[in-house]
Amino acid sequence: QWCYDSQDPKCGPSHWKELKATCGGDKQSPVNIDRRRLQRDSGLGDILFEGYDQAPPGKWRLANNGHTVVLSLASELASEHITISGGGLPSRYRALQLHFHWGSPAGNGSEHTLDGRQLPMELHIVHINVKYRTLAEAKGHPNGLAVLGFFFQVSETPNANYNTIVAGLRNVSQAGDSVDLASTFRLSTLLPHAGRLSGYYRYQGSLTTPDCSEVVVWTVFEEPVEIGREQLRAFVSTLHFPAAGPTLLKMTNNFRPPQPLRSRKVFASRA
Ligand code: SG7
Ligand code: ZN
């Protein structure tokens, strides 16, 4: 089984390629975004977010999958109308789930880095190409998935839009736990301010966990989401990795470090 170094360095990211050869491939994620080496692409207009601004018909489900906390819709049908398109994406994509990567009380935990710097936390919204029915099918195609990445910035005041998720963490503190959230909220409320989403980076990469399938069109936004210091602390201190022995291990540093860019280019939507 794979893990993060914070669980056991013997199954951490540097060993993933021994389990799945793809994890040692040439198009792996995350990467460092070196802002001096971007290629501006005027074709990268605004992404069209549909269904992001409506409360979904069903309930949100929060789950601890042993590697992160995942938010998805309790009924998969409910996400049918939450889609992204445009912005140079090769197709329309439907939202599947979102999850986070974070650090520890001592350090930051984003997966992508900006000019070599890690940010406190990163949100990933995973979407599937509407041409494909299942994740397994999408994994067979280079444009099968589109993941949106958002960095977090710590503020002294809480971000009330994250209250429902943060309050739910205590119900999913152990691996395998899941809970249906009582309150409904719109996905757009978890994003940075609408209208500040036109700055983003685009490159072709992979899932950041095994099997590391190289099927992801990545979009990483410039504008960070603000989160309160105490809210961020709730992620670091409430959740646990699967127990390996008698003692519980807090879920911290669940990020993969940047992978070589090799012959790839990172494109920028604006100069
Ligand atoms: C997290 O990251 C989970 C996985 C996800 C993986 O461990 O969110 O998803 C589920 C449903 O457990 O894997 C296929 C997939 O979405 C990798 O996603 S990521 O590349 O965006 N970090
Ligand atoms: Zn992720």
What ipTM was reported for this prediction?
A: 0.97
| Distance from residue 99's CA to the centre of ligand 2 (Å) | 6
Give the model's pLDDT for residue 79. Answer: 78
C-alpha dihedral sign at 81, 218, 236, 161: negative
Give the model's pLDDT for residue 156. Answer: 94
DSSP 170: G
User: Which one of the listed residues 52, 67, 200, 203 is annotated catalytic?
Assistant: 67
Ligand 1 atom nearest the C-alpha of 70 is 8
What are 219-251's pLDDT values in tens digits?
Answer: 999 999 999 999 999 999 999 999 988 999 999
| Nearest CA-CA partner of 197 in 151, 232, 165 | 151
| Nearest CA-CA partner of 95 in 68, 69, 121, 77 | 77
Per-residue pLDDT of the chain (271 residues; tens, 9 = 90+): 999 999 999 999 999 999 999 999 999 999 999 999 999 999 999 999 999 999 998 899 999 999 999 999 988 777 789 999 999 999 999 999 999 999 999 999 999 999 999 999 999 999 999 999 999 999 999 999 999 999 999 999 999 999 999 999 999 999 999 999 988 899 999 999 888 899 999 999 999 999 999 999 999 999 999 999 999 999 999 999 999 889 999 999 999 999 999 999 999 999 8
Residue 192: CA count within 13 A, CB half-sphere: 22
Give the model's pLDDT for residue 94. Answer: 96
What are 125-157's pLDDT values in tens digits?
Answer: 999 999 999 999 999 999 999 999 999 999 999
Strand segments, DSSP code E, in 23-102 are 32-33, 39-40, 47-50, 60-64, 69-73, 83-86, 93-102
CB count within 10 Å of CB 10 equals 9
This model's pTM is above 0.90: yes
Give, using CA atoms, the residue closest to atom 20 of ligand 1. Answer: 207
Catalytic residue list contains 67: yes
Name the residue of 3, 16, 126 to mutate for ligand 1: max ligand atoms within 8 A of Cβ: 126
Give the model's pLDDT for residue 74. Answer: 86
Q: Is 135 in the pocket of ligand 1 (CB under 6 A)?
A: yes
Catalytic residue list contains 201: no
Check if the beta carbon of residue 145 is closer than 8 Å to that of residue 129. yes
User: Which one of the listed residues 4, 52, 132, 162 is annotated catalytic?
Assistant: 132
- β 267-268/39-40 pair status: parallel
- β 216-228/200-205 pair status: antiparallel
| Distance from residue 207's CA to the centre of ligand 1 (Å) | 7
Tokens of 81: 């109308």
Q: Is 208 in the pocket of ligand 1 (CB under 6 A)?
A: yes
Ligand closest to CA 70: 1
Q: Is 70 in the pocket of ligand 1 (CB under 6 A)?
A: yes
| Distance from residue 122's CA to the centre of ligand 2 (Å) | 8
Ligand closest to CA 209: 1
Ligand closest to CA 98: 1
